[in-house]
Structure 1
Amino acid sequence: MDLSGLDTDLILTIGLVIAIFAIPAVISAFSDQRPPRAATLAVLVSGGLILLAFYAKPGGYTIERVPDAVARTVARVFN
């Protein structure tokens, strides 16, 4: 499967944003003692997007390169 045409920085950024919003949803669901269905789905989607970005990026990402990828994506959106 050829994944070279994907914008991996954008996929990684979207996955991280979804993960950031999913964490409070999980905590809220557990504190209200209700099943975290939507939060679980968000965690799975974000994890899948992050894994796809790591897999599709030639050479992969390192922890040090993730902030640069997010900054490039945000700069591209606002410019």
Structure 2
Amino acid sequence: MHPDMMLVTGMLLVVLSLPAIFAAWADNRAPRVGALVLFGGAGLVFCAFREREGGYRLQDVPDAVYGVIGQILN
């Protein structure tokens, strides 16, 4: 998988896991599924940083997001 795709997918999973975690805590349940999705997304982000030479800077993230969106739309 391309590092940009891993980065964007990981960030999306991290963002989507937060409502599941908060909902579980609000219902006094253990946030198992949310935590698994959070760790999976964080793992993808970590792998993306390791795969790309030099890693990512904060200025590189929007270009990666737009590049992945462009790949999906084409």
Q: TM-score range by the shorter chain?
A: over 0.9
For 1:29 and 1:68, locate their aligned partners in 2 and report how far apart those are by CA, in whole Å: 34
For 2:58 and 2:23, locate their aligned partners in 1 and report how far apart those are by CA, in whole Å: 28
Gaps spanning 5+ residues in structure 2: where?
A: none
Q: Which amino acid aligns with 1:44?
A: F
Aligned residues with identical type, % of pairs? 32
CA RMSD across the alignment:
0.8
Give the TM-score normalised by structure 2: 0.95
Give the TM-score normalised by structure 1: 0.89
Runs of 4+ with >4 A deviation: none
Q: Which of the two has greater helix per residue?
A: 2
Q: Which amino acid aligns with 1:63?
A: L
Match of 2:54 among 51, 54, 59: 59
TM-superposed CA distance for 1:47, in Å, is 0.5
Match of 2:63 among 47, 59, 68: 68
Aligned length in residues: 74
**Paired residue secondary structure (1:49):** helix
Match of 1:37 among 23, 26, 32: 32
TM-superposed CA distance for 1:67, in Å, is 1.3
